[in-house]
Structure 1
Amino acid sequence: MRVAVLGAAGQLGRDLCPRLSGTVVPLSRAHIDLEKPETIAAHLAADRPDVLVNCAAYNFVDKAEADPGPAFAANGLGVRLLAQACATAGVKLVHVSTDYVFGLDADRTTPFTEDDAPGPVSAYGLSKLVGEYATRAAHPGHLVVRTCGLYGVWGSGGKGGNFVETMLRVAGQGKPLRVVNDQRCTPSYTADVAEAVAGLVRAGASGLYHVTNSGSCTWYELAAEIFRRAGVTADLSPITSAQFAAPARRPPYSVLSNAKLAAAGVPAPRPWPEALAAYLEERARPRA
């Protein structure tokens, strides 16, 4: 099997590539740019993959609220064209989506299943939902994977790092940290998500699947656990989303159920505190 990975240099793509079976073809925006549709068919013809995993996305959530055009160009129209091209070429498309397709149900207290109706509350979330629907409509053999709160060692630099690295960096500077305590989700380690996605690809799974670590927490609870496990003393206190006043709304509850994975023979990822501990150990090791 020949598997192409778009967004291979990102934190999920970097963990996914070594876990896939067969020949893996890493692709970047220089190869396929979702905002430049003419690049898609040419590279599918040149690389001739059996499967293409799309880890690429426009994910500047707050910027998208003020200027949604780039988000919809990449996450919506670009994904639609990618799905159409893959369907025409006989390439299975695996598309990575997000928990941000939820959020409208502010009173939710039980994990969302794949059968629950989405309801995004931001332009970014809506752009990702458009990409999901476009994939499902254009490519009958699609696999859409929703995940949540990604962090991985390959995201410790680049576009602002990840939440774990940000917390440790700001605490190390002795600055106070005010973290929202009314948004509940599941922070997910890219190594664990990648292992499950690779398992779905090997199983030939199709349709919609949720892939996150298990359990849930607020961002404040995650920050507290980061500092506890890292042995860091931090000036940490909880605030509300209203106090944080981000330009884009975030889902107040976006915990995803992993129960469907069992039907595909893929083990559900471990609880998020265990995954966080593994991440902290991995980040301390030298990387090639």
Structure 2
Amino acid sequence: MLRTLQPGQRCEVWIASVTGDRELVFRSEELLLEAPNWTLDGSALILNGVGALWRFEPGSGQLSQVPLSGIPELNNDHVLAPDGTGIFLSANDGHIYHAPLGGGEGRRVTADDGFFHFLHGVSPDGGELAYVGIEAGNFTQPGRLLTLPAGGGPPSWFDTGDGHCDGPEYSPDGEWLYFNTEAFTSAPGHAQLARIRADGRGREQLLSSDTVDWFPHLSPDGRLASYLRFPSGTQGHPADLPVDVVLVSTDNWAAPLQTWALFGGQGTLNVNSWAPDSTRFAYVAYPPANSNPAKD
């Protein structure tokens, strides 16, 4: 089902600086956008909304739909190819597709293997995709971390322990996959941040916290990371609740450098949204009706 705004709810796209400043660059009471990616040239954000792909240029405020064909309605799992000209997309039919970033015909990457495929990472050389597989689309079962060749082919499985895992994303050097997992606790839904080597060895917990932590995203220079912090007791990554976007140094995940509180969750920070210069990143908030209008 495609997400839409509730009566009176707003969609707000923000750009946060590593200095702690932030700027409201887009606001709508009609169109719900999700999961910004930043283009390689730094000129635009790529987001999804109402099953389509959108390009937003913060400098001009211009929003335009990317014309795609041959691809079903999209969800919020999409990542740009490292060459800056293509994009990999997850669709609501459970498959991953590749398409030209400027628009055009899509090509399906994943096979009919009995799984739903939720893309989160592309290796720095563009040769491999990291995704979460959910068997038969049964969301009562935990997701599993897998990789496969970007051109299609058999997947490789990773042992991330018990419980659901999500958001697998390559480090800038391609040596690690960063993700969130419930493997470190018996509490239902208590996701924590972790990483595992790209060859499947050496799983590590990055942060032990009382909160439910999702979607770690490393900056292009590898020095910083953003992630989404849900309240303790949250199960999954639901929409429409108070959450925090957190900025940390990758040398010390336990000491936040900046924290931005907002109303959001699903759609806020599902994919890597760092600018290519590693000084800022984008996220989306969804303030409810009767909330005070945000100020930039």
Common topology (TM > 0.5): no
Higher helix content, 1 or 2: 1
Higher strand content, 1 or 2: 2
Q: Normalization by structure 1: what TM-score?
A: 0.31
Return the structure number with greater relative CO, CA threshold 8 A, min gap 6. Answer: 1
Q: Normalization by structure 2: what TM-score?
A: 0.30
